[in-house]
A and B are shown apart, each in its own frame.
Chain A
Amino acid sequence: MLLQCLNISYRYPQGDALVFRDLNCRLADPGFHGLFGPSGVGKSTLARIMAGEISGFTGEIKRRDRAGILYSCNTERLPGWSSVGDHLTKVTPAANLPLLRELITAFDLGSCVDSRFSQLSLGQKNRANLTRYLLQDFDLLIMDESLANVDEATRKQIIVTIKQIFPDRYFLYISHSVAEVATFCARILVLRDIHKSPQLIEVAGRDHHGDAVPDRPALERAMLEIVHAA
């Protein structure tokens, strides 16, 4: 078990209302997992609590000893003073430089490496940002809408590539696409409104690896389960 949230309750520093009440969840096995829920329900907040970026909650977060948990989101930017390629090379540990080249190809970033970040499209920006996180040493990478503005085919290719390259790592993928989380995630944490109990439900996904055509009826059942849970 990498991470377990026990009875987490939280309210925003300037807010009166609780965002979470006695919320429990865990990430038991490596793989590609999802965090799904309606807008404003607190997915990013929960993810940042898991990553240790937000304090002031009650309850307990149990992490595996020395677990490296990184949180990335689609609003992040690379510095503008150097090209994307230079930046990626600079923040990549020497041992991961071959991986950098592999990811640049897999994520179709070859045409962007000589450009400044501000010159990229939104989808390219998100791919470049995700790439640099994947090159770090981590146990769990939380991807908060990290593939927003990326076209569906490329998104699929990226998720499949991540699953192939990092089979032993944990990923928590936050997305608003039911089909996507149902297709690619092993477990989906469905976060619901605070008035619903329990606030978080775990649903099994299809954990598709891109090697075969997904079982359509099973996928539809998973999607239905997620929508019902939400």
Chain B
Amino acid sequence: MLHKRLSQFLIIYFLGLGLLLAVKYCFGLSDYVIPGFTDMQNTAQAVAAGYLRAVLDTLGVAVIGHVLAIALATVVAIVGRPDNLLGTMIKTAAYNLQAYPIVAVAPIIFILLGDGLPSRLLIAAIICYFPLLLSFIGILGEPVAGIEHFYVVTGRMRWQLEVKIRAFENIHKLITVVTGSATLAMVGTIVAEFIGADSGIGYSLRIALYQSDIAKVLVALFLIGVFNSLYLVALELLGLAVRKRMGVEQRTQQ
């Protein structure tokens, strides 16, 4: 799993790098526009340690933001699950809000909360929150009639059991959605840092942009890709463990 994710990223990364160098040598661009391979190596050696710390900082914020978003989406989806007035309101609000490019409100968050951790955390969380919420509402709001019927007619159905049945029956979808939204959390954190924070790899990218230093950008992209892949693999392993614990693997082997 790890090998697959990393090799996929490395292939894409080095293909992109190769393309960039091909453009440089084909059009005879100067090292100022696109640095040569040696310059890239030197830059990597110079900034690697600092960028590594920055990526870990960003990843930490992204993970916490992601967990917060998952927790919030779960709670809201459970509350918005029934076909009553509250449920309808929550679903309508979720569908309408997700249609708005939420990253555009990031400046307001920075103005109100400053350029520290809370702003980065909040933006990371809201970037991945709405896709999670829509999926969770869809999954937890859809009855599994074949299983639920017995509990309903015998008066045993409780909301906890209903949620458990629907989550269990859709565990593959839930894990896919959670894994897929991890990248969004990372994107949200980097965007937040890029816009207004004073730390993290997004902040480093902003400085590299102001310096027009493509070598630094490439080093940052490499580290972001590696650590994002590691996070996705960790989530996939967690999903595998959950499925195994719940006995879902036996079902899929039928």
Q: Which residues of A contact B (CB under 8 A)?
A: 51, 53, 70-72, 75-82, 91, 116, 118-119, 129, 132-133, 136
B168 at the interface (CB under 8 A from A): yes
Task: List 7 A-B pairs, minimum CB-CB distance, nearest first.
Answer: A118-B251, A77-B146, A77-B147, A76-B146, A136-B154, A80-B251, A81-B246
Q: Look across to chain A and name the residue whose beta carbon is closest to the beta carbon of B168.
A: A81
A70 near B168: Cβ-Cβ < 8 Å: no
Q: Number of B interface residues at 8 Å Cβ cutoff, please give it.
A: 17
B99 within 8 A of A: no
Which B154-205 residues have a C-beta within 8 angstroms of A?
154, 156, 164-165, 168-169
What residues make up the interface of B, taking CB atoms closer than 8 Å to A?
A: 146-147, 149-150, 153-154, 156, 164-165, 168-169, 246-248, 250-251, 254
Closest to B250 in A: A116
Q: Is the CB of A116 within 8 A of B147?
A: no
Query: Contact partner of B154 among A80, A81, A91, CB < 8 A?
Result: A91
- A-B contact sample (19 more), CB < 8 A, given A53-B153, A79-B147, A80-B251: A70-B154, A71-B153, A76-B146, A76-B147, A76-B150, A77-B146, A78-B147, A79-B168, A80-B246, A80-B247, A80-B248, A81-B168, A81-B246, A81-B247, A116-B251, A118-B250, A119-B250, A129-B150, A133-B150
The docked-state distance in angstroms from the alpha carbon of A79 to that of B248 is: 11
Contacts of A80 in B (CB 8 A): 168-169, 246-248, 251
Interchain CB contact under 8 A, A75 and B146: yes
Residues of B close to A75: CB separation below 8 A: 146
* Contact A79/B153 with A116-B250, A116-B251, A118-B250 known, Cβ cut-off 8 Å: no
State the Cβ distance, A122 to closest chain B Cβ, in Å: 12
The chain B residue with its CB closest to the CB of A52 is B153
Smallest Cβ distance from A143 to chain B, in angstroms?
14
CB of A24 to closest CB in B, whole Å: 25
